[in-house]
Chain A
Amino acid sequence: MNLIDVYVSEVGKHLPRKMRADIEAELRSILEDMLEDRSKKAGRPVDDEMVKELLKEYGAPQKVAASYLPERHLIGPRLYPLFMLVLKIVFSVLGVLALIGFGVSATSMTPQAFIELLGKVALPTIGGAITAFGNIVLVFAILERVLPASEQEDVEDKEWNPATLQKGPEPDRVGLAGPVFEILLNLTAIVIFNFYPQLLSFGYSASSVWFIAGSEVTKDQIGTTSILSEAFFRYVPFLTVVWVLEIVHNAILLRQGRWQPATRWFSLGVKLANVGICIALLAGPSLIGLTTESLTVLGSLANSVIVALNSIVRLVLVLVIVLDGIDIVKTILRLWPRKTPSARVHGK
């Protein structure tokens, strides 16, 4: 097998099977034509040196093969913006959750224990992030190959209407879903924490029968215990005031359909009160009412469960503080007086 044949075969290895034979035959023909021409110009027969020189100029086999193939992307320009958006959302959420988790754990740990936790959690967290990234890439790579290209672009072009630019985004406009959801959520909290606190309690027995308090009584019931502690329930009246104010606030927003300075000030006040209560809860004693006695059925795990539940509740409080904090900053920025640009004078 001469060098030309080897070269052609190498190029063919990088080509799809269906076009391989045809391109190899054409390539061989082209190279032989070029050699013949060079031989005539050089005034000497074709030799190895001439062949090597030609093949060097012609290019590396992979490069030659690539020139016959269309440009290929793992994730093409069409889907790339959406891919980046999804990555940003997913990693932002994962990052915030990881930081909050670390922060909450750190408040109740010695520095040494924190470093140990950092070591134990860091690698799985990084591994999880890499897995998430890989899964997102895989999904988008599949979409790139499955979505029909021209149809997608045509649909986007047909659906594009410049009039939609006028509709939004308006920072003062209020949708329907947000306020309705908040009203329902606050109402549920008021009802449960004020009128049905037993839903947050359970009865326990030595034979490990657990039941919602008041729903069933067994002959060997030892007692009932609330998941949340007295320290938490002391703040329920204050929280109830905040929840009522939130309901009123969202009702006004629904009625008016847009934010006004007055509703922004109202929101600011309510969120500051909420943050204050959450900070007081966080700084106070344990919010979990469970005791090791009530969890004897778990044996040595009882304490760990109580610590974990405490951490979860604190995590939720920290999350509320962070989210409300962000809302407070955004509200202040919107309320901040801005200089309006000077009006243009149009000549007649």
Chain B
Amino acid sequence: MGTNESLENVVLELRRGVIVLAVLSQLDKEQYGYSLIKSLAENGLEVDQGTLYPLLRRLESQGLLQSTWRVEADRPRRYYVISEEGKNLLPRLKEEWTGIVSMMEKMLK
């Protein structure tokens, strides 16, 4: 395995660690899957659709998201939004994230 490939794998692992927090932070307003991918990409986080959509289902099964089907322009779309439980969890996740960032900044000095 070359150095570039190793780097890509490690970067992928790093990004995987933040996807859940990123998704929850963007779903305070209803979005459907594809619009969420574009929204995350606009914020600099490229997420593979094969990663995001199963993740959305998993977060919903854990009670952190809610979803509804709506038909718009003859196209059915599944809209996701953060649930009450997700809203309660999000501030604590943000706090954890702040702590992690501060700890890493210290370690990487």
Contacts and interface: CB of A to CB of B under 8 A. Distances in A.
A59 B57 CA distance: 19
A82 interface: no
B78 to A, nearest CB: 5
Contact of A59 (B32, B35, B50, B76): B50
Interface string B49-63: 111011001000000
A32 B53 contact: no
Give the bracket for the number of chain A residues in contact with chain B.
Answer: 10 to 19
B97 interface: no
A116 interface: no
Interface in B31-68: 32-35, 49-51, 53-54, 57
Would you call the interface of chain B mostly helix, strand, loop, or mixed? helix
A67 interface: yes
B76 A30 contact: no
Given A29-B32, A33-B34, A67 B77 contact: no
A68 B35 CA distance: 20
A30 B50 contact: no
Given A26-B78, A29-B75, A32-B75, A58 B49 contact: yes
A67 B32 CA distance: 19
A15 B40 CA distance: 28
A34 B57 CA distance: 19
A246 to B, nearest CB: 59
B34 A67 contact: no
Interface string A56-79: 001100011001100000000000
Given A25-B76, A30-B49, A68 B34 contact: no
Interface of B: 32-35, 49-51, 53-54, 57, 69, 75-78
14 contacts: A23-B57, A25-B69, A26-B33, A29-B75, A29-B77, A30-B33, A33-B33, A33-B35, A34-B34, A37-B34, A58-B49, A63-B50, A64-B50, A68-B57
